[in-house]
Amino acid sequence: MTLAEGMRGKGGASAKAASPGTALLVLPACLLVLGLLIGPMLLMFRISLNQFSPTQLMIEAFSFGNYARAAADPYYQEIILTTLGMALLCTALTLVIAFPAAYWLGRLQSRWKSLVVIATLFPLLVGNVVRSAGWMALFTREGLINTALLKAHLIGEPLTLMYTPKAVVFGIIAVVLPYMILTIASVIESIPRDLEDAAANLGASGFSQFWRVILPLSAPGVAAGSILVFVLCMNTYATAVLLGGPRFKMMAPAIFDQFVRGNNWPMGATLAFMLLAVTMSFTIFGSIAFARRYRAR
Protein backbone atom coordinates (compact mmCIF):
# COMPACT_ATOMS: atom_id res chain seq x y z
CA MET A 1 0.00 0.00 0.00
CA THR A 2 1.33 3.42 -0.94
CA LEU A 3 1.45 6.37 1.41
CA ALA A 4 -1.31 8.16 -0.54
CA GLU A 5 -3.55 5.10 -0.34
CA GLY A 6 -2.90 4.82 3.37
CA MET A 7 -3.74 8.46 3.90
CA ARG A 8 -6.91 8.09 1.86
CA GLY A 9 -7.84 5.03 3.89
CA LYS A 10 -7.27 6.84 7.17
CA GLY A 11 -9.17 9.88 5.88
CA GLY A 12 -12.10 7.71 4.83
CA ALA A 13 -12.11 5.90 8.17
CA SER A 14 -12.02 9.17 10.12
CA ALA A 15 -14.82 10.60 7.95
CA LYS A 16 -16.96 7.54 8.61
CA ALA A 17 -16.19 7.74 12.31
CA ALA A 18 -17.08 11.43 12.44
CA SER A 19 -20.31 11.11 10.46
CA PRO A 20 -22.65 10.50 13.46
CA GLY A 21 -21.28 13.54 15.29
CA THR A 22 -21.53 15.63 12.14
CA ALA A 23 -25.14 14.59 11.69
CA LEU A 24 -25.91 15.67 15.25
CA LEU A 25 -24.29 19.06 14.62
CA VAL A 26 -26.39 19.60 11.49
CA LEU A 27 -29.63 18.39 13.08
CA PRO A 28 -30.59 21.66 14.91
CA ALA A 29 -30.16 23.70 11.73
CA CYS A 30 -32.23 21.19 9.75
CA LEU A 31 -35.01 21.28 12.33
CA LEU A 32 -34.95 25.08 12.31
CA VAL A 33 -35.26 25.17 8.52
CA LEU A 34 -38.07 22.63 8.58
CA GLY A 35 -39.95 24.56 11.24
CA LEU A 36 -39.50 28.11 9.93
CA LEU A 37 -39.40 27.53 6.17
CA ILE A 38 -40.81 24.22 5.02
CA GLY A 39 -43.74 24.23 7.44
CA PRO A 40 -45.15 27.64 6.42
CA MET A 41 -44.61 26.81 2.75
CA LEU A 42 -46.61 23.61 3.08
CA LEU A 43 -49.36 25.54 4.87
CA MET A 44 -49.43 28.15 2.10
CA PHE A 45 -49.58 25.42 -0.54
CA ARG A 46 -52.58 23.95 1.24
CA ILE A 47 -54.25 27.39 1.26
CA SER A 48 -53.64 27.73 -2.49
CA LEU A 49 -55.82 24.65 -3.07
CA ASN A 50 -58.84 26.25 -1.38
CA GLN A 51 -61.54 28.29 -3.08
CA PHE A 52 -62.12 32.00 -2.57
CA SER A 53 -65.34 33.21 -1.01
CA PRO A 54 -66.21 36.93 -0.63
CA THR A 55 -68.22 36.20 2.52
CA GLN A 56 -66.22 33.35 4.13
CA LEU A 57 -62.73 34.41 3.00
CA MET A 58 -62.10 30.92 1.63
CA ILE A 59 -63.80 27.55 1.37
CA GLU A 60 -61.79 24.46 2.15
CA ALA A 61 -61.20 22.41 -0.99
CA PHE A 62 -58.55 20.42 -2.80
CA SER A 63 -58.44 21.84 -6.30
CA PHE A 64 -55.76 23.19 -8.65
CA GLY A 65 -58.28 25.54 -10.25
CA ASN A 66 -56.48 28.63 -8.90
CA TYR A 67 -53.28 27.58 -10.67
CA ALA A 68 -55.16 26.99 -13.93
CA ARG A 69 -56.89 30.38 -13.74
CA ALA A 70 -53.67 32.22 -12.92
CA ALA A 71 -51.76 30.48 -15.73
CA ALA A 72 -54.50 31.20 -18.29
CA ASP A 73 -55.14 34.83 -17.27
CA PRO A 74 -53.29 37.29 -19.58
CA TYR A 75 -53.00 39.74 -16.68
CA TYR A 76 -50.97 37.34 -14.55
CA GLN A 77 -49.03 36.13 -17.58
CA GLU A 78 -47.90 39.69 -18.22
CA ILE A 79 -46.93 40.14 -14.57
CA ILE A 80 -44.84 36.94 -14.59
CA LEU A 81 -43.09 37.90 -17.83
CA THR A 82 -42.46 41.43 -16.56
CA THR A 83 -40.99 40.12 -13.31
CA LEU A 84 -38.80 37.59 -15.11
CA GLY A 85 -37.61 40.13 -17.67
CA MET A 86 -36.77 42.71 -15.00
CA ALA A 87 -34.91 40.12 -12.94
CA LEU A 88 -32.81 38.93 -15.90
CA LEU A 89 -32.08 42.49 -17.06
CA CYS A 90 -31.11 43.72 -13.60
CA THR A 91 -28.94 40.64 -12.99
CA ALA A 92 -27.05 41.15 -16.27
CA LEU A 93 -26.55 44.89 -15.71
CA THR A 94 -25.49 44.32 -12.10
CA LEU A 95 -22.89 41.78 -13.22
CA VAL A 96 -21.44 44.16 -15.82
CA ILE A 97 -21.29 47.04 -13.32
CA ALA A 98 -20.05 44.98 -10.38
CA PHE A 99 -17.23 42.99 -12.00
CA PRO A 100 -14.72 45.87 -12.39
CA ALA A 101 -15.36 47.00 -8.81
CA ALA A 102 -15.09 43.41 -7.57
CA TYR A 103 -11.79 42.93 -9.41
CA TRP A 104 -10.39 46.14 -7.94
CA LEU A 105 -11.55 45.16 -4.45
CA GLY A 106 -10.22 41.62 -4.77
CA ARG A 107 -6.78 42.84 -5.90
CA LEU A 108 -6.61 45.75 -3.44
CA GLN A 109 -3.54 45.53 -1.20
CA SER A 110 -3.95 48.29 1.33
CA ARG A 111 -4.54 48.78 5.02
CA TRP A 112 -7.74 50.60 4.04
CA LYS A 113 -9.23 47.51 2.43
CA SER A 114 -11.40 46.77 5.47
CA LEU A 115 -12.86 50.25 5.26
CA VAL A 116 -13.59 49.75 1.56
CA VAL A 117 -15.43 46.50 2.36
CA ILE A 118 -17.41 48.26 5.09
CA ALA A 119 -18.27 51.06 2.66
CA THR A 120 -19.51 48.44 0.19
CA LEU A 121 -21.63 46.86 2.91
CA PHE A 122 -22.93 50.17 4.20
CA PRO A 123 -25.88 50.48 1.76
CA LEU A 124 -27.22 47.18 3.11
CA LEU A 125 -27.74 48.86 6.49
CA VAL A 126 -30.37 51.14 4.93
CA GLY A 127 -33.82 49.71 4.27
CA ASN A 128 -35.18 49.41 0.75
CA VAL A 129 -37.98 51.86 1.52
CA VAL A 130 -35.51 54.55 2.62
CA ARG A 131 -33.35 54.01 -0.46
CA SER A 132 -36.38 54.12 -2.72
CA ALA A 133 -37.41 57.39 -1.09
CA GLY A 134 -33.98 58.77 -1.92
CA TRP A 135 -34.39 57.75 -5.57
CA MET A 136 -37.81 59.41 -5.56
CA ALA A 137 -36.19 62.67 -4.45
CA LEU A 138 -33.93 62.42 -7.51
CA PHE A 139 -36.46 61.23 -10.09
CA THR A 140 -39.51 63.42 -9.47
CA ARG A 141 -40.32 66.28 -11.86
CA GLU A 142 -39.10 68.75 -9.22
CA GLY A 143 -36.26 66.47 -8.15
CA LEU A 144 -32.52 67.05 -8.21
CA ILE A 145 -31.93 65.61 -11.69
CA ASN A 146 -34.60 67.66 -13.46
CA THR A 147 -33.68 70.79 -11.50
CA ALA A 148 -30.02 70.49 -12.45
CA LEU A 149 -30.79 69.83 -16.12
CA LEU A 150 -33.22 72.75 -16.29
CA LYS A 151 -30.77 75.16 -14.70
CA ALA A 152 -28.07 73.99 -17.11
CA HIS A 153 -30.53 74.62 -20.00
CA LEU A 154 -30.02 71.06 -21.25
CA ILE A 155 -33.75 70.35 -21.33
CA GLY A 156 -36.77 72.55 -21.94
CA GLU A 157 -39.22 70.74 -19.64
CA PRO A 158 -38.87 68.20 -16.83
CA LEU A 159 -38.24 64.61 -17.83
CA THR A 160 -40.58 61.82 -16.79
CA LEU A 161 -38.31 59.64 -14.67
CA MET A 162 -40.61 58.51 -11.87
CA TYR A 163 -43.04 55.60 -12.28
CA THR A 164 -41.16 54.12 -15.20
CA PRO A 165 -39.41 50.75 -15.67
CA LYS A 166 -36.07 52.60 -15.89
CA ALA A 167 -36.54 53.96 -12.38
CA VAL A 168 -37.28 50.45 -11.12
CA VAL A 169 -34.12 49.13 -12.81
CA PHE A 170 -31.98 51.83 -11.18
CA GLY A 171 -33.55 51.15 -7.79
CA ILE A 172 -33.14 47.38 -7.96
CA ILE A 173 -29.51 47.57 -9.10
CA ALA A 174 -28.71 49.94 -6.23
CA VAL A 175 -30.12 47.36 -3.80
CA VAL A 176 -28.42 44.22 -5.15
CA LEU A 177 -25.07 45.67 -6.30
CA PRO A 178 -23.19 45.09 -3.00
CA TYR A 179 -24.13 41.40 -3.02
CA MET A 180 -22.63 40.90 -6.47
CA ILE A 181 -19.47 42.89 -5.72
CA LEU A 182 -18.64 41.08 -2.49
CA THR A 183 -19.43 37.62 -3.87
CA ILE A 184 -17.18 38.01 -6.91
CA ALA A 185 -14.43 39.85 -4.99
CA SER A 186 -14.11 36.99 -2.50
CA VAL A 187 -13.34 34.60 -5.38
CA ILE A 188 -10.99 36.95 -7.26
CA GLU A 189 -9.05 37.49 -4.04
CA SER A 190 -8.18 33.78 -4.02
CA ILE A 191 -6.84 33.78 -7.61
CA PRO A 192 -3.00 33.99 -7.52
CA ARG A 193 -1.53 37.06 -9.17
CA ASP A 194 1.19 34.86 -10.65
CA LEU A 195 -1.29 33.54 -13.21
CA GLU A 196 -1.85 37.02 -14.62
CA ASP A 197 1.88 37.72 -14.62
CA ALA A 198 2.54 34.44 -16.42
CA ALA A 199 -0.09 35.25 -19.04
CA ALA A 200 1.43 38.72 -19.53
CA ASN A 201 4.91 37.21 -19.92
CA LEU A 202 3.54 34.92 -22.63
CA GLY A 203 2.32 37.93 -24.57
CA ALA A 204 -1.35 37.99 -23.55
CA SER A 205 -3.04 41.37 -23.74
CA GLY A 206 -5.12 42.79 -20.91
CA PHE A 207 -8.33 41.56 -22.51
CA SER A 208 -6.85 38.09 -23.08
CA GLN A 209 -5.80 37.91 -19.43
CA PHE A 210 -9.32 38.78 -18.40
CA TRP A 211 -11.05 36.44 -20.87
CA ARG A 212 -8.75 33.42 -20.52
CA VAL A 213 -7.58 33.66 -16.90
CA ILE A 214 -9.65 35.90 -14.64
CA LEU A 215 -13.15 35.22 -15.96
CA PRO A 216 -12.90 31.38 -16.03
CA LEU A 217 -11.35 31.24 -12.55
CA SER A 218 -13.87 33.69 -11.11
CA ALA A 219 -16.81 31.81 -12.66
CA PRO A 220 -17.93 30.27 -9.32
CA GLY A 221 -18.28 33.76 -7.84
CA VAL A 222 -20.05 35.02 -10.93
CA ALA A 223 -22.50 32.14 -10.80
CA ALA A 224 -23.15 32.45 -7.07
CA GLY A 225 -23.57 36.22 -7.24
CA SER A 226 -25.84 36.04 -10.28
CA ILE A 227 -28.10 33.44 -8.67
CA LEU A 228 -28.32 35.45 -5.44
CA VAL A 229 -29.06 38.68 -7.27
CA PHE A 230 -31.62 36.99 -9.55
CA VAL A 231 -33.54 35.64 -6.56
CA LEU A 232 -33.54 39.08 -4.90
CA CYS A 233 -34.70 40.75 -8.13
CA MET A 234 -37.54 38.28 -8.60
CA ASN A 235 -38.87 39.01 -5.10
CA THR A 236 -38.46 42.79 -5.01
CA TYR A 237 -41.42 44.66 -3.52
CA ALA A 238 -40.73 48.13 -2.11
CA THR A 239 -38.67 49.29 -5.10
CA ALA A 240 -41.30 48.15 -7.59
CA VAL A 241 -44.14 49.81 -5.68
CA LEU A 242 -42.46 53.13 -4.87
CA LEU A 243 -40.54 53.69 -8.12
CA GLY A 244 -42.77 51.83 -10.56
CA GLY A 245 -46.07 53.25 -9.42
CA PRO A 246 -49.49 51.57 -9.37
CA ARG A 247 -49.46 50.71 -13.08
CA PHE A 248 -46.16 48.83 -12.98
CA LYS A 249 -46.85 45.34 -11.66
CA MET A 250 -44.43 42.67 -10.50
CA MET A 251 -45.17 39.42 -8.71
CA ALA A 252 -44.46 40.51 -5.13
CA PRO A 253 -46.81 43.54 -5.23
CA ALA A 254 -49.44 41.42 -7.01
CA ILE A 255 -49.24 38.82 -4.22
CA PHE A 256 -49.59 41.56 -1.61
CA ASP A 257 -52.65 42.96 -3.38
CA GLN A 258 -54.35 39.55 -3.38
CA PHE A 259 -53.71 38.94 0.33
CA VAL A 260 -54.29 42.42 1.78
CA ARG A 261 -56.48 44.38 -0.62
CA GLY A 262 -58.52 41.62 -2.21
CA ASN A 263 -58.57 39.24 0.79
CA ASN A 264 -58.18 36.45 -1.76
CA TRP A 265 -55.83 34.22 0.18
CA PRO A 266 -56.07 31.20 -2.15
CA MET A 267 -55.08 33.25 -5.20
CA GLY A 268 -52.36 35.06 -3.24
CA ALA A 269 -50.90 31.72 -2.14
CA THR A 270 -51.16 30.45 -5.71
CA LEU A 271 -49.22 33.42 -7.08
CA ALA A 272 -46.63 33.00 -4.34
CA PHE A 273 -46.03 29.39 -5.33
CA MET A 274 -45.91 30.30 -9.01
CA LEU A 275 -43.25 32.90 -8.20
CA LEU A 276 -41.37 30.29 -6.19
CA ALA A 277 -41.61 27.76 -9.02
CA VAL A 278 -40.34 30.19 -11.67
CA THR A 279 -37.49 31.39 -9.44
CA MET A 280 -36.40 27.87 -8.50
CA SER A 281 -36.65 26.64 -12.10
CA PHE A 282 -34.34 29.33 -13.44
CA THR A 283 -32.01 29.00 -10.45
CA ILE A 284 -31.68 25.22 -10.82
CA PHE A 285 -31.30 25.46 -14.60
CA GLY A 286 -28.58 28.10 -14.24
CA SER A 287 -26.76 26.10 -11.58
CA ILE A 288 -26.80 22.93 -13.69
CA ALA A 289 -25.67 24.78 -16.83
CA PHE A 290 -22.82 26.43 -14.94
CA ALA A 291 -21.75 23.15 -13.31
CA ARG A 292 -21.60 21.37 -16.67
CA ARG A 293 -19.64 24.18 -18.29
CA TYR A 294 -17.27 24.38 -15.32
CA ARG A 295 -16.62 20.62 -15.39
CA ALA A 296 -16.04 20.79 -19.14
CA ARG A 297 -13.39 23.47 -18.61
Q: Which residues of the chain have pLDDT under 70?
A: 1-19, 293-297
Cα–Cα distance measured from residue 85 to residue 126, given in angstroms and rounded to the nearest whole number: 26
Q: What is the pLDDT of residue 94?
A: 96
The answer to the question of residue 19 being in a domain is no
Q: What is the pLDDT of residue 16?
A: 47
- Contact status, residue 97 vs residue 80, Cβ threshold 8 Å: no
Neighbours of 175 (CB within 10 A): 24
pLDDT, tens digit, 9 for 90 and up, residues 46-69? 999 999 988 787 888 888 989 999
pLDDT, tens digit, 9 for 90 and up, residues 213-262? 898 889 889 999 999 999 999 999 989 999 998 888 899 999 999 998 88
The answer to the question of residue 62 being in a domain is no
Residue 57: C-alpha distances to residues 51, 65, 154, 249, 263 (Å): 9, 17, 55, 24, 7
Computed from CA positions of residues 219, 284, 43, 254, in that sequence, does the dihedral angle turn out positive or negative?
positive
CATH code at position 93: 1.10.3720.10
The answer to the question of residue 31 being in a domain is no
Q: What is the pLDDT of residue 161?
A: 87
Among 181, 173, 158, 86, which Cα is nearest to 128's? Answer: 173
The answer to the question of residue 82 being in a domain is yes
**Where in the sequence is the domain holding 148, given as residue range(s)?**
67-296
The answer to the question of residue 36 being in a domain is no
Count of structural domains, the chain: 1
The answer to the question of residue 1 being in a domain is no
Question: What global pTM score does this model have?
Answer: 0.83
Q: What is the pLDDT of residue 4?
A: 43
The answer to the question of residue 283 being in a domain is yes
The answer to the question of residue 56 being in a domain is no
